[in-house]
Amino acid sequence: MKRNAFEKGLRDGLPICLGYLSVSFTYGLRTVENGLPFWAAVLISMTNLTSAGQFAGTDLIVAGGRYLEVAVTTFIINIRYMLMSLSLSQKTDDTMTTGKRALLAFGVTDEVYAVAAQQPSVGASYLAGLMALPYLGWAAGTLVGATASGLLPFAIRSAFGIAIYGMFLAIIIPPATKSRPVAITVLLAAGLACLFRYTPILNQLSGGWVIIICTLLAAGFSAWKFPIPQEGGLQG
């Protein structure tokens, strides 16, 4: 039974793995181009497994950001995984130990959560299978991108640089077109980012703290303006 659940998880995780290859390839390519060694890029991917957090954190490292700035920025960006893990814990069976829960929580990503949340219930074997290939794909893509950095022409390397932005647009546009609160949150965050970018005094603030402030302000405003009622669903 456990073997069947693991194999089902592998099958469900294969499309996620294939999607991760291109984005992690871009991450490895960009990280090495910014001066970090290839092994550092691979180590970061194997110990983080978070696209947005890794891109933002690595940019801060390259820019000479302080440890506190990097830590707080990546924490804010990745805090959604805590909520996803709490949600998935409601679907796990009673046989899953605390140790297994803590270990499997490492592999929770947006896509893994989306697939697991559709299951009536999830066990440790299924989640392990679901997370295995995406994890390997993320690490392998980073390795290939990092080692291929010196082999690809500049034009191709530059083109890969927009992959992460394409992924972000693919994440935010569909829900923004269907939900007014989501659209307002996205526009507010973008407006605040532009404000910090083009205001003479505010543009002196480092990128990491700008991300933190914009995230907290946009999310805080939306949480106040569009609270989720008890029966579920966003107001507005």
Examine residue 172 and state whether it is found in any structural domain, yes or no: no
What's the pLDDT tens digit per position in 147-190?
A: 987 777 666 666 666 666 776 777 678 888 888 888 998 899 89
Is the per-residue pLDDT at 43 higher than 90? yes
Residue 156 shares a structural domain with residue 189: no
DSSP string across 82-119? HHHHHHHHTTB-TT--HHHHHHHHTT--HHHHHHHTTS
Examine residue 143 and state whether it is found in any structural domain, yes or no: yes
Residue 72 shares a structural domain with residue 140: yes
Examine residue 169 and state whether it is found in any structural domain, yes or no: no
How many domains does the chain divide into? Answer: 2
Residue 103 shares a structural domain with residue 147: yes
Q: What was the pLDDT predicted at 128?
A: 93
Residue 102 shares a structural domain with residue 217: no
CB 4 within 8 A of CB 123: no
Question: In angstroms, rounded to a whole number, what is the distance separating the alpha carbons of residues 69 and 178?
Answer: 34
What's the pLDDT tens digit per position in 61-119?
A: 888 888 888 888 888 888 888 888 888 888 887 778 888 888 999 999 988 988 888 88
Residue 158 shares a structural domain with residue 200: no
State the Cα torsion 31-34-37-38 to the nearest 10°.
30
Q: What was the pLDDT predicted at 45?
A: 94
Residue 193 shares a structural domain with residue 144: no
Examine residue 45 and state whether it is found in any structural domain, yes or no: yes
Question: Mean pLDDT score of the chain, rounded to an integer?
Answer: 84
Residue 85 shares a structural domain with residue 185: no
CB 126 within 8 A of CB 34: no
Residue 116 shares a structural domain with residue 189: no
| DSSP letter assigned to residue 205 | S
Q: Which of 164, 189, 211 is the last residue of a domain?
A: 164
Residue 104 shares a structural domain with residue 193: no
Q: What was the pLDDT predicted at 81?
A: 87
Q: Which of 110, 139, 164 is the last residue of a domain?
A: 164
Report which of 81, 103, 97, 64 is spatially closest to residue 208, judged by C-alpha positions. Answer: 64
CB 28 within 8 A of CB 38: yes
CB 83 within 8 A of CB 219: no
CB 111 within 8 A of CB 14: no
Q: What was the pLDDT predicted at 64?
A: 85
Residue 22 shares a structural domain with residue 71: yes
Section 134-144 average pLDDT: 94
Domain region containing 83? 2-164
Is the per-residue pLDDT at 222 higher than 60? yes
Is the per-residue pLDDT at 234 higher than 60? no
Examine residue 173 and state whether it is found in any structural domain, yes or no: no
| DSSP letter assigned to residue 203 | G
Task: Name the β-bridge partners of 23.
Answer: none
| DSSP letter assigned to residue 229 | P
Residue 232's pLDDT band (boundaries 50, 70, 90)? very low
Q: What was the pLDDT predicted at 82?
A: 85
Residue 156 shares a structural domain with residue 219: no
Residue 231's pLDDT band (boundaries 50, 70, 90)? very low
Is the per-residue pLDDT at 226 higher than 50? yes
Residue 14 shares a structural domain with residue 51: yes
Q: Which of 164, 190, 208 is the last residue of a domain?
A: 164
Examine residue 174 and state whether it is found in any structural domain, yes or no: no
Examine residue 227 and state whether it is found in any structural domain, yes or no: yes
